[in-house]
């Protein structure tokens, strides 16, 4: 019955879901056991994952940011190396533009969600 309700709600709101790519995540405290009810969309069972990437932000089921920080740190290191390598060849104005375009924009992206 719940499956029909979910499919009906998706159709009513003109939403199309790719059941093959869709995953579920069950948020919980580190100490608690997560509830993982069976979810079916278009007669396909939706699997659960402990970590998902949503719009470039890694979200874990226990709301820990370790995966996102690990990915994010690597990205910022590359940008830092680029700025450091260009320091001797371009003006300070250009370096500021590179900083705001590649470093600060990444730092500010998603701050509402994880900040």
Q: E strand or H helix at 44, and its extent?
A: strand 44-48
What are the residue ranges of helices labelled H in the chain?
2-12, 66-86, 92-98, 105-108, 111-114
* Positions in the chain whose pLDDT score sits under 70: 1-3, 114-115
- Tell me the pTM: 0.67
**In this predicted model, what pLDDT tens digit does every residue of 76-91 receive, in sequence order?**
899 899 999 999 999 9
What is the pLDDT, as a whole number, of residue 114? 63
Measured CA to CA in angstroms, residue 53 lies from 10, 49, 65 at distances of 22, 10, 12
What is the pLDDT, as a whole number, of residue 64? 80
What is the pLDDT, as a whole number, of residue 75? 84
Alpha-carbon gap, residue 16 to 84, rounded angstroms: 46
């Amino acid at each position: 019955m719940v499956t029909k309700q979910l499919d009906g709600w998706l159709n009513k709101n003109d939403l199309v879901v790719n059941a093959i790519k869709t995953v579920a995540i069950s948020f919980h405290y580190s100490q608690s056991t997560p509830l993982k009810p069976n979810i079916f969309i278009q007669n396909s069972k939706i699997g659960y994952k402990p970590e998902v990437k949503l719009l470039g932000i890694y979200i874990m089921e226990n709301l820990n940011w370790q995966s996102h920080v690990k990915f994010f740190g690597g990205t910022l290191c590359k940008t830092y190396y680029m700025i450091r390598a260009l320091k001797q060849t371009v003006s300070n104005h250009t370096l500021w533009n590179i900083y705001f375009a590649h470093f600060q924009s990444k730092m500010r992206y998603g701050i509402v969600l994880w900040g």
